[in-house]
Structures are given as structure tokens and as C-alpha cells.
Structure 1
Amino acid sequence: MTVLDILKERGFVEQTTHDNELDEFLKMGNVTCYIGFDPTASSLHVGSLVPIMSLAHMQRQGHRPIALVGGGTGLVGDPSGKTEMRKMLTVEDVENNVLGIKRQLSRFIAFNDRKALLLNNAQWLTTLEYIPFLRDIGRH
């Protein structure tokens, strides 16, 4: 039974494209998969549960999940189609939120021995000085 079978059996997958090819690909060996999380709050919301459990099922079947936390992009206000900008968070707020998210994810995903990765895009975006550009100019 592949992880695709498990995800279908548990109701995670309604339909796919190229079902047979996807199933064969998953049988070939370990696959790396990722999901991104927005650290604008100290806790994940219920809408994150299905993606988290998908990563957990992938890991249980020998695949390598990556949880990508947007610590850099979380510093940028995001109107998300709204009429008002999202409140700009401080670096400390985002760092605390990232730690809270890591604690929550660690309940479902094993990050030890590089079986899974928790990456924070602040690690590379802040060194590029990209965040000030996005905060000051990108919002226009």
C-alpha cells in the first residue's frame, strides 16, 4: 500500500491527475514533499491539520517532509485582498510564532536525524535584504 492509497483511504484525496503515474512515482523511492506555514500567529489553526497529517503520513511511509515556515515573508504586511494591511509583526513576534509552530508540528512529524526538515525562509530572505524592500515598496 502506497502513501497515496493511505491518503485516499482516509479521505485526504478526492481526485488526482495521472493517478497511475503518481502511484508508480511514489513506489520508486523516497519523495520529498513540503507544505508552507504562515507564522502570523503563535499557533496553527484547524485548517492546517489536514496538510500536517498529510506530511505525517508521508513520513510514516518513508518519505521526507519539509515544513517551510515563512518567517521572512511573515514580516511583510499582506492585504490578502482586504482593504486594510495586515498588522506588521516585529522580528521577535515572528520568531516566537515560528517556535510555537515548530512545537506544534513536532507532535506529528519527527524532525530528528534529518528525517524531516523545518526551514524558515527568514534564513535566506533576511540576508538578501529583501524584507525591507517588500515591506516598503512591495506593498504598493
Structure 2
Amino acid sequence: MAAVTIDLTLYCENARLLAEFWKTALGYVDEIPASRYGTAEESFARLDLPTGGADDDGALLCDPEGIGPRLSIFRVPGRGTADNRLHIDVRVPGEGSAADRWERIRVEAARLVRAGGTILEAFDDHILMADPEGNEFRVTAAPA
């Protein structure tokens, strides 16, 4: 049996804002809709999103190398802060000492602050951050 694949989904109030942030954070790109859907709008229509027709109702992002999971971002009016049941770990690559890994984590967190993220708290091995809508994620080093 082959391994299963996963997609990650974020619910938000502004899908375009979060899509731009997560493309910057992860190096992802906009996913081209499957060939059976000619446009992104046709692709989104199959997902039963809330009505309203806004251009920022959703975004589908993917790893350009095809390795990481797809990230779906959908606008859900009235989303509460308690809805963040999943978080993303942004793992910076590279080897070296604990000090080297911490420096890479710190540099990546600073880059994500410039992209619109917020540092919430620093721990021994990761930095807890929030994206522009308050969804928490961690910046940490890839396993050695």
C-alpha cells in the first residue's frame, strides 16, 4: 500500500492576504487548477465555499517541487480565534551546532515578520509566531 498524502487547510477572513504570506513563508506557488477545471473559480466552485463571489474567497497553494502538502486557504465569514486547530511548523534547513540552528531560526522569524507575521514567544528550540490573521505557527530547525 502506498503512503497517503495530506492537504492542510486554513480558514480565514482574507484568503489573498494569507496566501501571499504563506507563499513567502514556505516558498509555495499558486496551484494550477486540475485540467478538468479551466479556471481557479471553477475549481473553487466544487469546494462549496460560502457564497459571495469575492476574489479573495480562496487560494490553493502547492510546493513547486511537489514534495510538501498542498495548502488550501478559504475565507469563512465570522471565523473565531478558537478555530486554529492545526498549526504549521516552518522548518529551516541546514546542519551545525545548536547555536547555528538557533541563528537560522532567528533569521527566518525576522524574514516572516517583514512578510507580516508576528513573534509571540521564543522557546529553547523554536519561535512561536502568528500569521497576519493570528493563526499560530512555529519556526524551528529541520531534524538533524
Give the TM-score normalised by the residue count of structure 2. Answer: 0.34
Relative to its length, the structure with more helix (as a share) is 1
Relative to its length, the structure with more strand (as a share) is 2
Give the TM-score normalised by the residue count of structure 1. Answer: 0.34
